[in-house]
Amino acid sequence: MMTVLPIIQLIVLASAASNEVKDVQVVIVDKDQSEISRTITNKVNANDWFTLLATTFDQDAAFAYMQSGDADVILEIPKDFEQRFYRGEAPQMQMLVNAINGQQATVGSGYLSSLIADVNQDILIDEPRLLSTTNGRQSATIVSNNWYNPELKYPHFMAPGILAELTALLVIILSAMNVVKEREVGTIEQINVTPIKKWEFILGKLVPFLCVGLVLLTMGLITSKIVFGIPIRGSMFLVFGYGIINIICVLGLGLLISNFAETQQQAIFVAFFFVMIFILMCGLFTPIESMPVWAQKLTIPNPLAHFISVTRKVLLKGSGFMDVKWEFIYTISLAIIFNTFAIWSYKKQQ
């Protein structure tokens, strides 16, 4: 175990954790329906850095992609763009960036600006007469707006994720050490001779650490608001409701580890294995969209990834329950699985 688990971490994390930003999700609102707008659309569609989610004429439909979190960037090409371009009037396109994920937003918008500059330059080369009307300047410009985090403040992006990470880290370590500690000091034998049922024992271990996790979550939110001024646009009941489910889920995993570990050191070592994978594959430091497809699938059973997603969506975007329903469904499923196995694996003398 001492050598196998680090090797598994090496293989998984080296392949999945990367700062390279790719697969930027783009929606194009094409109100011009011109040759230039089609060229830009084709360039985006053919570029490996982007995934073209949709091309639409309806701005509200594009906003729906942004609100659901599917779109990273909306590029709006206004009506009569091509006509104004050839008249040398320097028409503007608008780029709306989902700035909840600061790294994906800044790098993705930079990629798209560079692509449009290349299209602009290609047209000037093909149409030399335009150089005389523009004096060699860019004939088209982009106005960029960052949504949900307009000033791209890094603490607003990081604080909800760090808080979710610390809460999960604390409760999984404490719960992983708990049962095995009682086994080491011998008090587990006294519990085993009582008529207490297995699920009652696990519930008794779970409730105190749930309270500890909620206290940490409350203190962390207050500190983040006072020190970093993070916005709270959504419902705090939704944040705490999800927080309770997530902490129960993580506690179930910790108690499961504790049931199989022989010593506290072994429990910490196994818990550390899961915590490292959870942290580096949760989307906090590496955008999940930039990971390989197999690694993106592995984030589904990662409760920390869902915790970070919910806190960012609710706090920064003001998302409601329907926007985070899948995070709830995944986490409730994981909580049932982990705690069921924790109850099943607890060895009690009958």
Torsions phi, psi for 55 (to 5 deg): -120, 120
C-alpha 176: how far from chain center: 26
Q: What is the DSSP letter of 135?
A: T
Give Cα 50 distance to the centre of its chain: 18
Q: Whole-model pTM?
A: 0.77
The two beta strands, 92-98 and 73-77, are: antiparallel
Q: Dihedral, CA atoms, 325, 330, 332, 336, nearest 10 degrees? A: 160
- Strand pairing partners for 28? 55, 75
106, two tokens: 């800044």
pLDDT tens series, the chain, 350 aa: 656 666 666 666 666 666 666 678 889 998 888 888 888 888 888 887 788 888 888 888 888 888 777 888 888 888 888 888 877 777 888 888 887 766 667 777 788 888 888 887 777 777 666 555 555 555 667 777 777 777 777 777 788 878 888 888 888 888 888 777 777 777 777 777 777 788 888 888 888 888 988 998 898 888 888 888 888 888 999 999 999 999 999 988 888 888 888 888 888 888 888 888 888 777 777 777 777 778 888 888 888 889 988 988 888 888 888 888 999 999 999 999 999 998 888 876 55
The two beta strands, 73-77 and 141-147, are unpaired
The amino acid occupying position 207 is V
Q: Give me 342's structure tokens.
A: 């924790």
